[in-house]
Amino acid sequence: MAVEMLRFIAKYLPAILPFAFSLLSERIHAFIHRFTYKSVSAPKNVVVLGGSFAGAWLALRLAESLPTGYKVVLVEKNSHFNYVFNFPRYSVLQHREQRAFIPYDGLMKKAPKGVFERVQDVAVEVRDGEIELASGVCVPYEYLAVATGVRQSGPAKLLASEKSEACAELRTLQGKIQGAKRIAIVGGGPVGVEITADIKTFYPEKTVILIHSRSQLLSNFGKRLHEHVMGKMNDIGVEVLLGERPNLPQVENSEAAELVFKGGRVEHFDLVARDPLQGKEKIIPCTGQTPNSSIIENFLPTAISPKNGQILVKSTLQVHSGPKCGTAFENIFSLGDVAETGGPKMGSAAFVQSGIVEKNILALIHGKELSEYKPMSVEGILKLTLGKDNYVVYAQHEDGSDFLMPGKDSNVDLAVAKAWKTFGADFKDSDV
């Protein structure tokens, strides 16, 4: 473990140090900005669509740097910031789900007056120079950043936009898990692995089956991580079925369902969602994600990749219209999971990309040279929980080397308290 940590530091320190100095410089400029920005009656809008990690960080950075005459408008459908990292844990652990929903109110409490506006609404159409919202309101923009993320099934993402209803969704899943004797989880990515390990370690008496279509869990990462996770699953008593892609029924309205595996083997499941305490078996799908790129489909149809549905961007993260970076839309950017950036689909990558978009919007305002986003392997570092007490940190470097560092953490709330602090919210209010 110590040797692995030293290898990790030696490999990534050259990348981390300049980034740390850059963040320090940002904080200094943000402090100065509070006293130099002046509110005006009709500022030009820099609109950010989506208030998850990429969008929220970008909005915060812009609020700390936009010159007088501009303001940032964050359009987000959710009433609270969804700390999705804890959704798998709070799908299992009861009476803590409210802590995953952080008020946006504190995010800009140190920003100067007039620089920020948050609109709780859904953008339904992008046009040249304006956004139409579901409410019928049209918001003009000078610059636009699309950070609408991806659609996923629960527990990775929730349907509700209000905190109370989102908490109810998590409590429903908690009830299903609590009432089940045999639980099948379909999908061996990070969410599937985490919720599997949480269920088995918080409810060791249950039979938990993890089903994955490929021969390796966590298929986007190295084999060493797969082997480590398989060992942990074996230790805690989880059955793992690899290379299986069973038919997944529509579970919402089914009282009984079955999965058909290779060779025609059939497994029966009781899916009585209306009364989960009576269920002996439940299915929790943890499969796939779809980019939320349809918002620009009418306006910029050729800017959506036919391969994966992501928004095509240049290295500057400006949206472009097709093969070989055809027409670029100078004032429209995209970042985070919805964009085809070449970087990992991770929170750390979204943070780095938000810095690039902020710099480039400021560069366009001031007539300066644009910066390019160059993905770094450090952005893809994964911290994966493996039950209530264990985790593993995994990283892959460009040269093919990888790093695997297991650890222990008895804090069942993981890092949610730190997230509340980042958003300027008081964690003492987290149980309200």
d(CA 429, CA 14): 39
Positive or negative, the CA dihedral 79, 83, 84, 87 is negative
Give the pLDDT score at 282.
59
DSSP 163-200: HHHHHHHHHHHHHHHHH-SEEEEE--SHHHHHHHHHHH
Percent of the chain with pLDDT over 90: 65
Q: Model pTM?
A: 0.89
Q: What is the mean pLDDT of residues 116-126?
A: 96
Q: What is the pLDDT of residues 236-284, one digit of tens each?
A: 999 999 998 877 655 443 334 577 778 777 776 542 222 222 344 556 6
217-244: buried (b, 16+ CB within 10 Å) or exposed (e) per residue? bbeebbeebbebbbebbeebebebbeeb
Structure tokens at 293: 């790129």
Q: What is the mean pLDDT of residues 406-425?
A: 93
Q: Average pLDDT over the chain, rounded to whole?
A: 88
Angle between helices 53-63 and 347-366 (to 10 degrees): 40
Structure tokens at 74: 């964050």
Q: What is the pLDDT of residues 141-189, one digit of tens each?
A: 999 999 999 877 666 678 889 999 999 999 988 888 888 888 888 888 9
Q: What is the pLDDT of residues 339-377, one digit of tens each?
A: 999 999 999 999 999 999 999 999 999 999 999 999 998
Give the pLDDT score at 321.
80
Q: Which residue has the tokens 């990534």?
A: 12
Q: Which domains does the chain have, with CATH numbers?
A: 2-152+290-380 (3.50.50.60), 171-287 (3.50.50.60)
**Chain CA centroid to CA 71, Å:** 25
Q: What is the pLDDT of residues 71-111, one digit of tens each?
A: 999 999 999 999 999 999 999 999 999 999 999 999 888 89
From 308, 276, 281, select the one nearest 292 (Cα to Cα): 308
275 phi/psi in degrees, rounded to 5: -145, 75
Give the pLDDT score at 23.
87
Residue 332 CA: distances (Å) to CA of 127, 172, 245, 364: 11, 39, 39, 11
